Amino acid sequence: MLDIKLIRQNAEQVAEKLKKKKFDFDVAAFRQLDEERKQADTESQSLLAERKQASKKIGELVKQGIPVDEAKQTVNETLAKIEEQLNALKQKATAASEALEALMMSIPNIPDDEVPEGNDEDANVEVLTWGEPRQFDFEVKDHVDVGEEVGGLDFELASKITGSRFAVMQGSMARLHRALTQFMLDTHINEHGYNEVYVPFMVNADSLRGTGQLPKFEEDLFKLEGEQNYYLIPTAEVPVTNIARDTIFEEKELGDGLRFVCHTPCFRSEAGSYGRDTRGMIRQHQFEKVELVKMVKPGRAAAELETLTENAEAILQKLNLPYRKVILCGGDLGFSAQRTYDLEVWLPGQQKYREISSCSNFGDYQARRMLARWRNPETGKPELLNTINGSGLAVGRTLVAVLENYQTADGGVEIPEALRPYMGGASKL
């Protein structure tokens, strides 16, 4: 959520900046709603104040020994007048502030000034490339064919068990997939200083509102039947970031920031992506991800996004997978994000770079929705935190990248050096 004071003072500038995100902010509608709310609020407040005074007076009279009924007589006129109007005004005030709240919740975050203009991913700007795509002296297969050749990767079986966009892995393939997860976790914990955390894979609606998936993106989520309105998590970002919801951290608890690494499955309905990436395990309803989440004092967020992204890049580098880093343009930027870097790994089977990580700075946008705060000793007041997160990395897609980049002429797959300790020392699949 944006700061409503900021909008009140700079509505036109805010609207202008949101254009970069292809969001049309109706300033006039906002102002009218805000004005309505304020007026209804002020009126009902002054009535409440009057009633409070009257009640207090009765209390005083009663204490002086005057009978209750007699005491009531003295203020009867005031109270009768108030009761008439109060209910209607209260309702009006509630309705107005709910409408305003709903509007505020539907406004996306403002992009950074450095975010490039553009409508879609084609306008994203390359920041750097790392590594050289390997030259193959045989015909490259995509991961589906590689998987079929070495065995242990089965989409048809998954389709029988559940449906499309799922995978079954067996034997060494399943182990390689697990090895990737362990390798990523160990690297982030031991070398990058993140704190491992295990969280629920189902969350309530409040948590999803906090990080910005609700109210606007319900159709992307799997919602569970039953009395509790729980949802399967689309990313660990949701449960991990909500660790800080409705919390005020003391400065010493916060230190120079909270850093979490968390491995979870992720569940996405992929509504509206019919026909896209239907082959293989690029786009699944269920996939594993190792997520990095930081919650820091404002001011250091921009720098923390840079290091978080580098932490994710380190995984690709250790696996020796060629990739490029792009900064997302306004039109491709997520709802809650100020600035996002995508890491795209080279996939020989597609002859393309494909997204394998997305690292974003949300500023105080999520924190304001969540009321995630820290007590600033300089002011003594609770102030909003800044949140940053990114994939480090999407495990399923990393497996795809390993299978495709490390395939051998004889139909096998070489195991990257970094993963061998996790594979019992094996060097080939």
Partner RNA sequence: GGUGGGGUGGCUGAGUGGCCGAAAGCACUGGUCUUGAAAACCAGCGAGGGUAAUACCUCCGAGAGUUCGAAUCUCUCCCCCACCGCCA
Binding site for RNA (CB under 7 A): 4-5, 38, 41-42, 45-46, 48-49, 51-52, 54-56, 58-59, 62-63, 68, 72, 79, 227-228, 248, 250, 375, 377, 380-382
Q: In the complex with RNA, which residue's Cβ is closer, 72 or 318? A: 72
Q: In the complex with RNA, which residue's Cβ is closer, 96 or 221? A: 96
Q: In the complex with RNA, which residue's Cβ is closer, 55 or 164? A: 55
Question: What are 410-414's contacts with CB under 8 Å, separation 24+?
Answer: 411/146, 411/149, 411/150, 412/149, 412/150, 413/146, 413/150
Question: What are 9-14's contacts with CB under 8 Å, separation 24+?
Answer: 14/110
Question: Measured between alpha carbons, how far is residue 190 from residues 153, 193, 291, 311, 417 in Å?
Answer: 31, 6, 15, 12, 18
C-alpha 253: how far from its chain's center?
23
Q: In the complex with RNA, which residue's Cβ is closer, 49 or 102? A: 49
Residue (of 14, 1, 7) closest to 31 by Cα position? 7
Largest CA distance in the chain: 103
Q: Is 57 within 8 Å of 75 (Cβ atoms)?
A: yes
Residue type, 389: N
**At closest approach, how far in Å is the CB of 81 from RNA?**
12
Q: Is 315 within 8 Å of 184 (Cβ atoms)?
A: yes
Q: In the complex with RNA, which residue's Cβ is closer, 36 or 220? A: 36
Q: In the complex with RNA, which residue's Cβ is closer, 149 or 383? A: 383
**At closest approach, how far in Å is the CB of 280 from RNA?**
33
Placement of tokens 């951290």 in the chain: 249
Q: Is 426 within 8 Å of 173 (Cβ atoms)?
A: no
Q: Is 115 within 8 Å of 124 (Cβ atoms)?
A: no
Q: Is 205 within 8 Å of 231 (Cβ atoms)?
A: yes
Task: Measure the CA–CA gap between 343 and 309, rounded to whole angstroms.
Answer: 8
Q: Is 54 within 8 Å of 78 (Cβ atoms)?
A: yes
Q: In the complex with RNA, which residue's Cβ is closer, 90 or 324? A: 90
Q: In the complex with RNA, which residue's Cβ is closer, 4 or 426? A: 4
**At closest approach, how far in Å is the CB of 169 from RNA?**
23
**At closest approach, how far in Å is the CB of 227 from RNA?**
6
Q: In the complex with RNA, which residue's Cβ is closer, 59 or 133? A: 59
What sign does the dihedral 252-256-257-261 (CA atoms) show? negative
**At closest approach, how far in Å is the CB of 39 from RNA?**
11
Question: Measured between alpha carbons, how far is residue 102 from residues 3, 13, 21, 34, 215 in Å?
Answer: 14, 21, 19, 12, 9
Q: In the complex with RNA, which residue's Cβ is closer, 92 or 375? A: 375
**At closest approach, how far in Å is the CB of 236 from RNA?**
20
Task: Measure the CA–CA gap between 194 and 192, rounded to whole angstroms.
Answer: 6
**At closest approach, how far in Å is the CB of 381 from RNA?**
5
**At closest approach, how far in Å is the CB of 200 from RNA?**
11
**At closest approach, how far in Å is the CB of 195 from RNA?**
20
**At closest approach, how far in Å is the CB of 45 from RNA?**
4
